[in-house]
Amino acid sequence: DIVNVEFTAQIENDFDKVAEGKEEWKQVLRQFYHHLKKN
């Protein structure tokens, strides 16, 4: 899934939100890690 274009686009969008201060980085990384862990 990590090479899935949609997944990559979504995680890039999430990281952009972190950079803009719109999302908490810990939550974004938890979701990212959870996705990697299940696959």
The per-residue pLDDT for range 8-36, each reduced to its tens digit, is 899 999 999 999 999 999 999 998 888 88
Domain ranges in the chain are: 5-38
Distance from chain centroid for Cα 35: 9
- At residue 20, the pLDDT reads 98
Residues 18/24, Cβ–Cβ less than 8 Å: yes
- At residue 17, the pLDDT reads 98
Alpha helices in the chain (DSSP H): 5-19, 25-38
The one-letter code for the residue type at 38 is K
- pTM for this predicted structure: 0.72
Whether 1 shows a pLDDT value over 70: the answer reads no
Q: Which residue has the higher pLDDT, 6 or 21?
A: 21
Q: Which residue has the higher pLDDT, 25 or 1?
A: 25
